[in-house]
Copies of this chain bind each other. A is one copy, B any other.
Amino acid sequence: MAKILMKGNEAIGEAAIRAGCLNYFAYPITPQSEVAEYLVRRMPEVGGVFLQGESEVAVGYMLFGAAGAGARVFTTSSSPGISLMSEAISYIAGAQCPAVFVNIMRGGPGLGGILPSQGDYFQATKGIGHGDCRLLVMAPASVQEAVEMVMMAFPLAEKYRNPVMILGDGLIGQMMEPVEFPDHLKTEPSNKDAWASNGMDHRGSKTRNLVKSLFLDPVQLNDNNLALKAKYERMRAEDVRSAAYNIDGDYPVLLVSYGTMSRVCRTAIDMLKDEGIEVGMIRPQTLFPFPEKAVADAAAKPSCRHVLSIEMSMGQMVEDVDRCIRGRVPVEWYGKCGGDIPTPEEIISVVKARIAGKE
């Protein structure tokens, strides 16, 4: 299949359609409104629906309603919009429905700015909503990877009957790259008869399903939460993903970085290699489950003396990196959070300072 030059936001919209998702609910917010602009034209062409909610709170519950009825659904938003959906996300997780959320992060907290950011790592991976709920979170580093992750998100959401989030940043959304929509990622919606609300016609039938997150009986609620916990463990076992870069040789410094930030890191690594300095990198592709083993193993190489978590935030993923390295080597954060992306030169400078033993 030929590659097409597309803007990230548009490619994300098209990927959802190619993945068989014909239900898109959203509320516009910079820097991802182009997804809605693209789909408001495109969805009718394929018999799909784009409905703009009256707020992000409403959009979250539109997703819950459509997901509970068994439809493939997704939304796209940016940081403040995702906060407004957090109650609904918790409800969808508690009721065990599949749904896909794309967060093209902007600077925060609050209104923050409209330039790229990775400031929602904690929210996405730990505390998106109240209660014991977690999302499967994927972080693309290119438009092509965004396309593939969106296409993979729907069957993963259905496999786990759990929300899946694509955590991108404004640069992924805005840049143009040649993309293809791989046929092998087209999937059929899985059998929803076992759990989706199937309406009045089934009243009294054996297969009548009830979609709910309310369990007033503490034993039932505990059981539901144990089922969630088991799913999260299964995500850790079956669907953790990461990419390694330049880890075959010996390196004194290991970088951990994801998304757009990791592309800059790769450039810095290449430039350092030209100077004869080896630096390895693990790029988490799933942020939850976090690639604990990949990071721990790469840091366990005897040559490795320093680990740097490079982030477009004030240091969030660094906690997960630190946790899995368990004190073997020092773990530090480096980054910026305001829209300016650290340059390769800045990263090179930080790496060299670590090697030279300065903080």
Which residues of A are interface residues toward B (Cβ below 8 A)? 51, 54, 57-58, 79-80, 82-84, 86-87, 90-95, 105, 107-115, 117, 119-120, 122-133, 212-226, 228-229, 313-316, 319, 322-323, 326-328, 336-340
The answer to whether B110 and A214 have CB atoms under 8 Å apart is: yes
Most B CB within 10 A of own CB, among A83, A107, A123, A315:
A83
A192 to chain B, nearest CB (A): 18
Choose among B108, B228, B319 the residue that contacts A131 (Cβ–Cβ < 8 A).
B108
**Residues in chain B near residue A337, CB distance under 8 A:** 132, 221-222, 225
Partner of A57, one of B84, B95, B129: B84
Docked CA distance A218–B339 (Å): 5
Known A-B contacts A87-B80, A94-B108, A220-B338; the reply to A131 vs B117 at CB < 8 A is: yes
Taking CB atoms, residues of chain B closer than 8 Å to A322 are 323
List chain B residues, Cβ under 8 A from A105: 130
Q: Are B127 and A110 in contact (CB under 8 A)?
A: no
* A313 CB to nearest B CB, Å: 6
Is A58 touching B54 in the complex (CB atoms < 8 A)? yes
Q: Is B129's CB under 8 angstroms from A221's CB?
A: no
- Report whether A108 and B132 are in contact in the complex, using a CB–CB cutoff of 8 Å: yes
Bound CA span A225–B315, Å: 11
Measured between beta carbons, the chain B residues less than 8 angstroms from A221 are: 107, 112-113, 115, 337-339
CB distance from A13 to the nearest CB of B (A): 18
- Indicate which residue in B90, B122, B218, B224 contacts A126 across the interface (CB closer than 8 Å): B122
* Residues of the B chain whose Cβ atoms lie less than 8 Å from the Cβ of A219: 338, 340
Distance in Å: Cβ of A130 to nearest Cβ of chain B: 4
Q: Known contacts A222-B340, A223-B338; can you find 19 more A-B pairs with CB under 8 A?
A: A80-B87, A80-B130, A90-B109, A91-B109, A108-B132, A109-B130, A109-B133, A110-B133, A112-B131, A113-B221, A119-B131, A120-B127, A120-B131, A122-B126, A122-B127, A123-B127, A221-B337, A225-B337, A323-B323
B218 and A115 contacting across the interface, CB-CB below 8 Å: yes
In angstroms, Cα B315 to Cα A86, docked, is 20
CB atoms of B127 and A126 under 8 A apart = yes
Contact indicator B222/A129 (Cβ below 8 Å): no
Complex Cα–Cα for A120 and B133 (A): 9
Instruction: Give the docked Cα–Cα distance between A303 and B177 (Å).
Output: 58
On whether the beta carbons of B314 and A229 are closer than 8 Å, the reply is yes
- CA–CA, A92 to B80, complex, Å? 12
A295 to B189, CA, bound (A): 47
Q: Contact: A129 with B83, CB < 8 Å? A: yes
Residue with the greatest number of chain B CB neighbours at <10 A, chosen from A119, A225, A229, A326: A225
Q: In the assembly, what is the distance between CA of A269 and CA of B107, in Å?
A: 47
A316 to B232, CA, bound (A): 13
Question: Chain B CB within 10 Å — which of A51, A82, A132, A316 has the most?
Answer: A132
Please name the residue on chain B nearest to A133 by beta carbon. Answer: B109
CB distance from A167 to the nearest CB of B (A): 11
**Given the known A-B contacts A80-B87, A214-B111, A221-B107, are A129 and B133 also in contact in the complex, defined by CB atoms under 8 Å?**
no
Q: Chain B residue with minimal CB distance to A128?
A: B127
